[in-house]
Amino acid sequence: MSEAALADQSLFAQNRRAFLLRKLHSLTGVAPVGAFMVFHLWTNAKALQGQEPFDKAVSEITHTPYLPVLEWGLILLPLLFHAGYGVKLALDAKYNVSKYKTTRNWAFTLQRVTGLMAFAFIAFHLYEYWGKKLVGKMAPEQFYPALCQNMSATVKGIPVVGLLYVLGIAACVFHFANGLWGFCFSWGVTVSRRSQQMAAAVFGVLGVAIFLLGANTAIYFATGQSVQDMIFGRKETSGARTCADILQQTQKPVSVGPVIE
């Protein structure tokens, strides 16, 4: 076989491997990684009802049969692959948004920028809570008070950690919602221009809804109040311990709105 033919075969194999890796990267971003993110934000929103409902939701997860196998097989390993290959794609990409200011070009650039931001945020979040639980430094029932205390940390009265969490959630959600559009496009789900525009609108609305869900919880942990509390007044939580209670006990400032019976 000639050298040219061997070179063609090698190039074909490399292109095929890159194609398969990109497809796997796209797929893992939707499921299980993206799906777990939505589930995680939904579960964390239980915190708005107080520590008892939050602890109950966490307990149901921690008592799932074969939890370590599920954590590694369905969450952590896919996440490590998606994050690792995503960082490679972000570093290898050629950016020309300053030259071609189209919507999709901006989306391409922001997808990689938010991917890097999400990588840093998730690594920090895993270390702070899942990692400490893994080595026995934090029990599941300590998550709620730890989140309240850590995320309410302030610099000159500004809850910096809470703001970083809101920014991190925004990066993760944009990356997921825009990634859903890319998934449908690359897998041939949205072929026509009209279907692509409809997908962009649907995933845009979905992304905003998921962000509001996650950001509201982060604001609650950081201030002791949800956005609803700030606007409409704080509702009673049937005696459940709240972040406002924890922050008051630790003498951290918290502005609590009027209580609604």
Q: What is the pLDDT of residues 127-160, one digit of tens each?
A: 999 999 888 989 999 999 999 999 999 999 899 9
- Whether the pLDDT of residue 177 is over 80: the answer is yes
Q: Binning pLDDT at 50, 70 and 90, where does residue 97 land?
A: confident
Using DSSP, state whether 259 is helix, strand or coil.
Answer: strand
β-bridge mates for residue 158, sequence order = 155
Q: What is the pLDDT of residue 259?
A: 39
Q: What is the pLDDT of residue 260?
A: 42
The number of folded domains in the chain is 1
> How far apart are the C-alpha atoms of 112 and 106, rounded to whole Å?
10
Which CATH number characterizes residue 24's domain? 1.20.1300.10
**The model's pTM:** 0.90
Q: What is the pLDDT of residue 207?
A: 99
Domain range for 237 is 3-260
Q: Binning pLDDT at 50, 70 and 90, where does residue 238 land?
A: low
Q: Which carries the bigger pLDDT value, residue 103 or residue 256?
A: 103
Residue with tokens 């995503």: 86
Q: What is the pLDDT of residues 48-61, one digit of tens each?
A: 999 999 999 999 99
> How far apart are the C-alpha atoms of 72 and 96, rounded to whole Å?
37
Mean pLDDT of 86-102: 91
